[in-house]
A and B are shown apart, each in its own frame.
Chain A
């Protein structure tokens, strides 16, 4: 059981991480590099041009989007750390599945159920207040954003756990309140400022990050269902006996 949970979470997370890393290099990395050219002043929007930094074309040229050879080590580090990040998601999702199975008479896990829950908790809920940001986008203090991000993840996970554990309307009401709380309080924000990077680049980036992460969770959900739901399901009678 211990081996299954740890190795299952790690293997599922690592494979999902590699898929996400490949999609990241293809779809997201070029946009980050493009944004950095605006961040460093190499390119500038006509709106914010200054005397010593004349405005340049805001159109993304295909050539600009190629990852250069010098970016190879950068890409390698991203593959490594994305894999580690998704191993973390895999282990946490596996632990959550196991905890849910131990404490509730939860239905057998479906790949899509795991994927949607994980995506909602680890991406969508925090992104409602703090959407994915490109380099050069104005943002509030980093520590306060990180704190709000983590608290939102915890609140959403707690709300979801409540609805699974207690299947009644009172619990669902409390769950809704818990999930809404960070959004009612509000994420740390900064006053609206003139954009440094093209809004269409930012829009494309947010859509791609959202899509890539959802695909990542679909892969992770399918792998976790395959690797863990079986062993956890077989353990269910023991857990029920233990609780009775």
Chain B
């Protein structure tokens, strides 16, 4: 029986958390600052005005 090991190159292993962090961060910013549905716009209105994001 052979033990299978998951081959992960060092660069991929190091890049993954960086990419994950960047994608998660960008998604949060887009959700809170840029998404357009009316309900979300009302809830995030003052946040957008306080952060300098385009609003209205």
A residues whose Cβ falls under 8 Å from a Cβ of B: 1-2, 5-6, 9, 13, 20, 24, 28-29, 32, 74, 77-78, 81-82, 84-85, 87-96, 98-99, 102, 123, 126-127, 130-135, 139, 142, 145-146, 149-150, 209, 212-213, 238-239, 242
Contacts and interface: CB of A to CB of B under 8 A. Distances in A.
Contacts of B15: 102
Interface residues of B, number: 34
Contact of B47 (A2, A85, A99): A85
Main secondary structure of the interface of A (DSSP, over half): helix
Nearest to B31: A84
Quick one: which of A1, A28, A88, A242 has the most chain B CB within 10 A? A88
Contacts of B22: 91-92, 95-96, 99
Contacts of B32: 81, 84-85, 88
A209 B51 CA distance: 7
A133 B21 contact: no
A95 B18 contact: yes
Chain B contact residues: over half helix, strand or loop, or mixed?
A: helix
27 contacts: A9-B21, A29-B46, A74-B46, A77-B47, A81-B47, A82-B51, A85-B51, A88-B24, A88-B26, A91-B24, A92-B21, A92-B22, A95-B22, A96-B22, A99-B22, A123-B51, A123-B52, A132-B49, A139-B54, A142-B36, A142-B54, A142-B55, A145-B54, A209-B49, A209-B50, A238-B10, A242-B11
A85 B17 contact: no
B17 A146 contact: no
Contacts, number: 133
B50 A6 contact: no
Contacts of B46: 24, 28-29, 32, 74, 77-78
A1 B54 contact: no
A29, A77, A139 — most chain B CB neighbours (10 Å) = A77
A9 B26 CA distance: 12
Contacts of B16: 2
B28 to A, nearest CB: 3
A163 B44 CA distance: 35
Contacts of A146: 34, 53-54
A78 B21 CA distance: 23
Contacts of B17: 1-2, 5-6, 98
B49 A32 contact: yes
B21 A98 contact: yes
